[in-house]
């Protein structure tokens, strides 16, 4: 009789930490790290980050693929998927870390910190009168697992917050917009725009020249989602004219950002190397284990994603 095993594959995640975290939750789980998979027919679950082409077809009894991260674009965009269930990570540590990044980046602009960073470099005492946070309008594009808590936190701090998502949302203190017309209103009405959108076929390049032009002059843009939701050439042009006054970018079309990329030369861009939020195996393992328990009972996994929808 074949056994029930999980295969782990990731060039970047710590297999030992994941083995410890998952087997603490599920002591009976047979955790195998590729390429030491034993009999491929034992494999029911895969916990992976960008496995090589053809990986999934090796396992005839595979039932669930869990992406080792929240963003599933690299997984769902593949053309070698097999008809199984797909899920993503989602843990409170990751959410808290993303909220902290967004709050930091928004507050840096709301409190005019880049002005003081530049003044300090010139050795000048430059006073800018602070504005009440309620006067500062912030948009969060994408109100999912990471976007909704970030929007809620910003609203809780007193910012005037509007969110944009596919379906309408009821989040305390956060106005909800949907659809193309909603996006255009959101871009035109808000001074600080945060992207927490997934990279789906619909949303690739959603923020281009037209969208940056819709933003009010002097807008600030924060991208902690995926680089390719933005047309980078259009953003660079808007940053050069100052129409978009500042940007904080954690994600890029090409990562690491190439040394000759124009973003490096723009004084009004803060670059962080894709670390707005990371996964802590110990915290994330709880839901991965719960998904496996649910699959054993014939239920859907937690945090299931839909290949057709792209997120
Ligand atoms: P989710 O999949 O949970 O949420 C996606 C949100 O986008 C939902 O609110 C969804 O709307 C909305 N959306 C999807 N399609 C559309 C559309 N066509 N029009 C309008 N809204 C749409 O994503 P997460 O919150 O987990 O992740 C957000 C982003 O953060 C992803 O890009 C992910 O890759 C990235 N990320 C970045 C990290 C970093 O370190 N920089 C770390 C982790 C994630 P609805 O709610 O109606 O379905």
Q: How many CB atoms lie within 10 A of CB 103?
A: 17
Q: Is 303 one of the annotated active-site residues of the chain?
A: no
- Regarding the beta carbon of 160 and ligand 1, being less than 6 Å apart is answered no
pLDDT of amino acid 152: 98
Which one is catalytic: 58, 111, 274, 294? 274
**pTM higher than 0.95:** yes
The pLDDT of residue 3 is 83
Ligand 1 pocket test, candidate residues 70, 105, 201, 304, most atoms within 8 A of CB: 70
Quick check: 183 and 176 in contact, CB under 8 A?
no
pLDDT of residue 2: 63
- Provide ipTM, 2 decimals: 0.99
Q: What is the CA radius of gyration of the chain?
A: 21
Task: Provide φ and ψ at 119, rounded to 5°.
Answer: -60, -40
User: What residues form DSSP beta bridges with 161?
Assistant: 138, 174
Question: What is d(CA 299, CA 302) in angstroms, rounded to the nearest whole number?
Answer: 9
What integer pLDDT is reported at residue 271 of this predicted model? Answer: 98
Q: What is the pLDDT of residue 1?
A: 53
Ligand 1 centroid–CA 205 distance in Å is 14
Mention every residue, 6+ apart, whose C-beta is less than 8 A from residue 138: 106, 110, 154, 159, 160, 161, 162, 190, 191, 192, 193, 194
Could you say which residues of the chain have pLDDT below 50?
none
126 lines ligand 1 (CB under 6 A): no
Would you list the DSSP string of 215-227? SPTTEEEEE-S-G
DSSP 194: E
């Amino acid at each position: 009789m074949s056994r029930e095993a999980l295969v782990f594959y990731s060039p970047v995640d710590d297999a030992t930490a994941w083995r410890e975290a998952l087997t603490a939750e599920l002591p009976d789980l047979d955790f195998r790290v590729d390429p030491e998979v034993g009999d491929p027919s034992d494999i029911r679950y895969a916990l992976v980050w960008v496995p090589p082409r053809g990986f999934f077809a090796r396992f005839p009894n595979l039932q669930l693929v869990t992406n080792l991260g929240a963003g599933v674009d690299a997984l769902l965009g593949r053309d070698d998927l097999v008809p199984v269930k797909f899920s993503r990570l989602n843990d409170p540590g990751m959410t808290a870390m993303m909220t902290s990044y967004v709050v930091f980046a928004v507050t840096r602009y709301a409190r005019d910190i880049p002005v003081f960073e530049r003044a300090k470099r010139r050795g000048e005492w430059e006073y800018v009168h602070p504005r009440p946070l309620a006067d500062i309008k912030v948009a969060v594009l994408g109100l999912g697992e990471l976007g909704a808590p970030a929007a809620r936190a910003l609203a809780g701090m007193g910012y005037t917050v509007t969110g944009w998502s596919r379906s309408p949302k009821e989040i305390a203190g956060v106005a909800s917009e949907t659809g193309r017309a909603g996006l255009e209103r959101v871009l035109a009405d808000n001074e600080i725009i945060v992207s927490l959108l997934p990279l789906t076929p619909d949303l690739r390049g959603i923020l281009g020249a037209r969208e940056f032009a819709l933003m009010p002059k002097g807008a600030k843009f924060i991208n902690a989602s995926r680089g390719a939701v933005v047309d980078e050439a259009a953003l660079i042009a808007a940053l050069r004219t100052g129409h978009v006054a500042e940007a904080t970018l954690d994600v890029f079309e090409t990562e690491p950002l190439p040394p000759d990329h124009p973003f490096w030369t723009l004084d009004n861009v803060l670059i962080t190397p894709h670390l707005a939020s990371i996964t802590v195996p110990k915290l994330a393992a709880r839901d991965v284990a719960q998904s496996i328990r649910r699959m054993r009972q014939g239920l859907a996994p937690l945090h299931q994603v839909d290949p057709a929808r792209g997120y």
